Structure 1
């Protein structure tokens, strides 16, 4: 095992997580070795499942304001680029933690800790988050998951695959406009089958962003009806769906928050979708990936 990664298994599934960004690198069938997570390719997408914290998406003008001071921050925040510390590991899981440091305080002047716990259970991986406010003022943050799921080759490529929501969703979503969230939603019909058909051109205009999503599960389904995996969204109110156009993966992203639009004030505590955690408070959420058992031959 690499010193910077942790691998654990329960027999049915095998999982690998990196210290850098507490990023999920692999989730595979323990018997067939079928890989469910996108395997990084710097020429396509160099990540696999980054954690988005303390912002999601882009900030207007690349910065926000707090107590009259301007702080620059890159898209999706800093957690994905920093090394977490190991708190605990065993045969079936691992817990990692990120705390404030000189590197974070320069761009985010708050005391916090972010804990991420990965655990295997039967044919599921559970990912749990805890954010704690260890400072002396309200902690404003967004938190999002961004796992990319590998789509196996099939005769019609992406056209063979769909995402199926557990509930009927509104016939609209938000798209990006010059890198920021469009002020108004765009029509995006989802049929009574609650299905979004994947295609090489679906993400030509970047991500699909659903505010106040109703569904609590999204399944990746082959046109034959075979379910490849199901993702439980936890308590996240917002959802992003994205991939590089034509690439053989899709990201299902439960979010607490989303990109700025052109009308935001720039004040972090007033940012739409932001979570405001009181002093001493703790915030818990998470998601789960479930895969059907591989058929025995």
Structure 2
């Protein structure tokens, strides 16, 4: 486990999956990240690479050859090498190896850097393509934020707003085959959004995750409370899709706010990697960073 901190926050990240496991406010002791309760949801903040969501039949194709791809890729269960850069900064690196080649037959270097700046956490994903060919991949993250954040509040006291102030919000329809979601290909309008706010209710997630598609042009999301100033602001300008999710179980006192570059397959045939919808196509020997900023408001 790696720890970074400053005067106001202490953050822990696990080398397994480079997973953010806690963000603790030093003045109150409150942990903003879900505590990993196995009987409810046994994770904190998985990192997604080189796939997001589910592949059809858990496989995809490279020049017609089948490769297994676990849901959300391989980045969340791989051990990363940690390098402490400063008291408030740490970098995690995953290199392609024999294990990754079983699922993704390409060389790569994937790093995740965490930086603390006051009450803000910056997360920088960097993908490097050392190959002489284009690399197709998805990248994203899946942090679960504890809500409510104050005593005597409920999940339903919170709501979301969006920086671009869209008049409507559209999202991918999903079907559930053997328990995991695949897109139907339909884009729907979210009726619960009133043009300014999206109130949070358990019923909002009765059909599972909500993935806002790229036509919304979202780049900022704000989680607010009706009973105070506490909340989270997420800046995700490098990610065209955004997922929000929690469980209908009231014990799941969290909300996942998930910037995505990529999306689950559409139900039907297995697809070639280069044809996966939403993937980033990286030119040979290119390097690209994807940055997310989380601002904690209190």
* Aligned 1:108-257 pairs, distance under 5 A: 108-152=104-148, 155=152, 157-169=154-166, 170-178=168-176, 179-189=181-191, 190-193=193-196, 195-212=197-214, 213-245=216-248, 246=250, 247-257=252-262
Give, in angstroms, the shift of residue 217 of structure 1. Answer: 1.6
Separation in structure 2 between the aligned mates of residue 107 and residue 9 of structure 1, nearest angstrom:
35
SS at match of 2:103: coil
Cα shift at 1:107 = 1.1
TM-score (norm 2): 0.92
Question: Which aligned pairs between 1:272-283 and structure 2 lie closer than 5 A?
Answer: 272-283=277-288
Change (3 A) 1:154 1:261: farther
- Is 1:261 the counterpart of 2:266? The answer is yes
Contact preservation (8 Å) 2:22, 2:31: yes
Deviation for aligned residue 1:88:
3.5
| Cα displacement string for residues 44-69 of structure 1 (whole angstroms, at most 9, x for unaligned residues) | 11111111110000001110000221
| 2-structure distance, mates of 1:221, 1:34 | 17
Q: Distance in 1 between matches of 2:153 and 2:30?
A: 20
Per mean C-alpha deviation after superposition, the further-off stretch among 205-214 and 100-109 is 205-214
Using the alignment, how far apart are the partners of 2:46 and 2:163 within structure 1? 24
Contact 1:9–1:30 under 8 Å retained in 2: no
* Contact 2:49/2:140 (<8 A) preserved: yes
**Distance in structure 2 (CA, Å) of the matches to 1:12 and 1:132:** 33
> Is 1:90 the equivalent of 2:95?
no
2:275 aligns to what? 270
Name the count of aligned residue pairs. 288
Provide the aligned C-alpha RMSD in A: 1.5
Report what 2:61 is aligned to: 65
The residue number in structure 2 matching 1:35 is 31
1:79 aligns with 2:75: yes
Structure 2 segments unaligned to the other structure (5+ residues): none
Q: Which runs of 4+ in 1 moved over 4 A?
A: 153-156
Q: Distance in 2 between matches of 1:146 and 1:54?
A: 14
